[in-house]
Structure 1
């Protein structure tokens, strides 16, 4: 089962945020959407998860327009957006987790069973008796990932989810994302952190001014733009060469 965006476009007033972009997410692969500020990355992701509707084009899950699925879409798709915040910051971690599980129709026992291994891998268990509002941002983001995965989704969308995380939280978060992809989850991420893409992306979609200017595997991208040089840091230099001096305002 895959998520497809077919020739989607989105305008906000007189401004075109996304212009005729197509993308296919494949199980087991991490696709990175790359581009300067205002390229339309977050708008594309929000269309992919049904938060906003395209003005034209289609978003399909397993060949079915996501509008027809309604809330059932979120049995298959989850997202961790930039600055994800949990609904009840005054509650302890356990209570937030149980509440999120209940939204998926899970019992307390089912929720804890599904979350148990992730809580250990992400070093969260030690925090769960504390108010979530007292946690660091990185710890909150890790719990947001755990709750996003309670439904065992086949598609995971991440919008700048590692921004502001310390090196340990970032490592743990991304290791879990890689594990999920290796287990067959299709992952779509946006990030301004070139090392995240360099180390984790299988495929790349390059956006500029809302349009797709390149799409393919990460290896193909590096072969075309860096003559196959995979030295750490080269990806960032390639992006600087492509977009230096062309960043400007616009809709993300």
Structure 2
């Protein structure tokens, strides 16, 4: 296969020995790959900066028998502000853990990588409620990996009445009558419905640029948490 040039985001790293480390790299064209960074722990190594956690950069990698090996790397963005704030770092760790859980080798990960980078940028540089940032991130991610709820204006069950409830179990909106038979249905405002539609359909660069009321924010936070955990079949923060 030879040497491959790719962009990538370091999702995790661990030390192999005093000189070398192993990193998990999310790339747009190779998916998530494990890469050996030989000599990267040495103080004068050209690989040191580019193989640190959260670094996004240009990589030259070579595919070995069981993993890739990094020949060279050049950092593009290191999200420095995240490294200065323990709260921001904790949220960034949550983002990378989720990304690590939903991606694999040979996946087409362009949109997931784009979402991860946009989210990390907001965490690093924008004054926003970080719990709400995580809610937006999770809901958008679900739509990318195949969980896209039906958010049409009329009830998805009877196709007659106006939708006022989001069904966690059935991935859709329901009217008050049909929601009576669904214990997972959560009542939502019209503003929340419009916001959920925006989150899964907007231009990626504008994902975090909308504003909502405190009421809608609380509803989106609740729906995102419950719906994400249901789709992933495990509990996340």
TM range (shorter): under 0.3
**Which structure exhibits the higher relative contact order, with contacts defined as CA atoms closer than 8 Å and separated by 6 or more residues?**
1
TM-score (norm 2): 0.28
Higher gyration radius (CA): 2
TM-score (norm 1): 0.27
